[in-house]
Every structure is written in structure tokens, then in C-alpha cells.
Amino acid sequence: MAAKTFEYEIEDDSHYLFTCAQLKAREFEFIDRSKFERMAAANTIDSLNKIISETCYANFLNLIDRENNLDSIILEFNRQTVIFLMNILKEGHRAAIDLLMHEEIIHNYKVIFKSLILKKNLSSLYIPLFYSYENLVNSVNNRDSMDIDGSTRLILDEMNSIKGMNLNFQDMEIRLEKFYVELLYTEIEKLKSKMILEFIRHFIDIFNIKNTVRVKHINTRINFSDFLIDKGFLPVELLRKYESENIENLVQELKNTDYYIIIEHGLRNLLNRNSFFSFDKNEYGFYLNFLDDVKYTVANLEKIFSFFMRKKIELKIMNMIYLGVLYGIEKSKLSHKAGIIGES
């Protein structure tokens, strides 16, 4: 069963003409494959940092923790991106930021929820985006918080609802994550952008596939209905049957879909190397390829979303390479990371 594809034209929006002209002028910031290959070939952190100094991230080098990763650069990129987009997007288009930052937002909700369960201050794990850690924690039980938007209020209310259920913590987290993604889908529908709606449907399919494989691989007792989200292109019934079937059969099942490379390479890498890296690598390549068509448009929300999604993926690749150089991973494996951009 192949994933569906919309046939549509992306209309330009004069409201975003100046912003898209700005971003067009910034496309020189994109890191090409050859530069990533040079990074992957670096033998020391110092030589890698020298190559990074040739990119738009040169001014962020002072933020790098040499013995850790590029998290500080990623945090600063997220902060600047959210501020920029909050200032230029039309009212009602904020859901595009939520989709762009979905990983960080889900992470934050899990941190807040865990702090409520454990009754501990976990602010050191929180990623500042729209609200402070203290603001959200204080708002969970305070429905009079006027400075919390409606979608965030719904998530906080769901936390209280889940907290009262007789479930283990893992099941609570799964329910919270599913609730958030379903809510995000609803908000994306309101954008009236077929491309961004199609993007989140692909994201949900890949989310479902990865979680199906992960649950089968670790052989844990989790009801598939608890985490499968029925908003993608693939019917959840297709994946739900693997609750009792061999997961390797899923490769053949998805052979004629857009996700074949993701599942085929990902599962092989998982079984041979016990690593989910190939899933992430091919997911990033899928998104870059999907977003490529907006380069033929002039000014619209989709073009803005595509620009910052590519920047986020670039930083993920750069962070993978940084950690690989730091821990002496063999060069052949690092070169695969550098190839993500070239495969888009």
C-alpha cells in the first residue's frame, strides 16, 4: 500500500515576501555535502571546529562544550528561530513553529509531567521555547493562568487527567505523547496548507513505524493501540497486526510505499548493529527530499517552514558527526552521516 500524495500548487503570500527574500539571501548558510564530508574526515575536535568556523555557526563556537556535544548551539538556534518566527508569522500560523519544534516540545511536556509525578525540580532538563519551566509547572493546577495559550492549556489538563490514572509511568508518557501529536495534527489542519498537512501525515506514519519496531525490538508489553496514531497515510490496522506478527515481515509489507528505504535500512541496521541511527538518517533524508519542491516558489509559509526544517536537520547531522569524532567512531560510519544532505 503506497502512501498517498497530494497534487497541489503552493500559492505565494505577499505577507511573507520580505521574509522569504531575507531567507533566500541566507541560503548560502546551508552546509553542502562536501563540507559535511570534510567534517566527517576530521581526526580531532580542534580540526572539526576549524571547519565549523567556516560555516554560519562560527559565532557559536564559544558555546560548544568540547567534552559533550553541540547542544548549546542547537539551543541557541532554537531560541533565535522561535523569536524570529513569532515576530513574522501571521496570527494563526504558530502551529508551523510547533511542528518545527515538535521534538523539543514533546521533550518539555515529558519533563514537566515527570516533575509532577516525582515531585522534583527538573528545570535543568527543560528546553526554553515559548514558556519558562516555572510558568508551566505553576499552570498545571492553575486554570486561571491567562498567559497560557489554548493548546498548551489542553496539554496541561491532559497531564492532570493522566496523572490520576492507574498506569505505570511509561504508559502515562505514551498517552501524553499521543495526545500531543493528535492535537498538533488538529492545529496543522487549521493552517489550510496541503503541503504542511502532508508533511505531518508523513511524520505520523514514520512515528508509528519507528515505535512499532522499537516496541517489538525491546519485547516490552505495550498495547499497540496506546501509541499508534490514526492520522497518517498508512492505516493503523496495517501496523497493529504486528503486535502478534514477526516485525521483519513489515519490510515486505511496506515495499511499495514511500517508507521502504526507512524501514528496510533501519531494521537491517537495528538487527545487525542494535542501532536506530539508520531510521533517523533516512527519515531526515525523506524530509529534505519532500521539502525540496518549495525552492520553485517565491513567498509562502511553506518556504519559511522548509528553510528552518533544513537548518534543524543540518544541526542534527553536525551533532552526530561531532560526537562521532569525539568518541573515535570509524570514518566509514561518519561518512554515511555526511551523505544525508546529498541524498535529499
Give the residue from 161, 190, 219 where a domain finishes: 190
Closest CA to 109 of 57, 158, 146: 158
Single pTM value for the model: 0.91
As a whole number, the mean pLDDT across the chain is 89
Average pLDDT over residues 56-85: 89
Give the residue from 125, 158, 190 where a domain finishes: 190
Count of structural domains, the chain:
2
Answer yes or no: is pLDDT of 65 > 80: no
79 or 336, higher pLDDT: 79
Side chain identity at residue 186, one-letter code? T
Average pLDDT over residues 41-68: 89
Average pLDDT over residues 24-52: 93
Same domain as 181, residue 218: no
Same domain as 322, residue 208: yes
DSSP state of 190: T
pLDDT for position 331: 78
Domain with 123 in it = 94-190
Same domain as 264, residue 249: yes
Same domain as 287, residue 202: yes
Answer yes or no: is pLDDT of 146 > 70: no
Same domain as 246, residue 295: yes
pLDDT for position 41: 92
Same domain as 327, residue 248: yes
Q: Which residue has the cell 498548551?
A: 152
Same domain as 179, residue 288: no
Do the beta carbons of residue 285 and residue 266 sit within 8 Å?
Answer: no
Q: Please state which of the ranges 44-53, 193-202, 241-250 shows the lowest mean pLDDT.
A: 241-250
Answer yes or no: is pLDDT of 312 > 70: yes
Same domain as 314, residue 204: yes
pLDDT level of residue 3 (50, 70, 90 thresholds): very low
Same domain as 198, residue 184: no
Closest CA to 126 of 106, 151, 154: 106
Give the residue from 129, 161, 190 where a domain finishes: 190
Q: Please state which of the ranges 199-203, 276-280, 286-290 shows the lowest mean pLDDT.
A: 276-280
Q: Which residues contact 151 (CB under 8 A, 6 or more apart)?
A: 98, 183, 187
Same domain as 50, residue 134: no
Same domain as 287, residue 204: yes
Per residue in 181-238, pLDDT tens?
999 999 999 999 999 999 999 999 999 999 999 888 887 788 899 999 999 999 999 9
pLDDT level of residue 82 (50, 70, 90 thresholds): very high
> Within a 13 Å sphere around the CA of 316, how many CA atoms are in the beta-carbon half?
20
pLDDT for position 5: 47
Same domain as 200, residue 52: yes
Per residue in 157-175, pLDDT tens?
999 999 988 888 999 999 9
pLDDT level of residue 96 (50, 70, 90 thresholds): very high
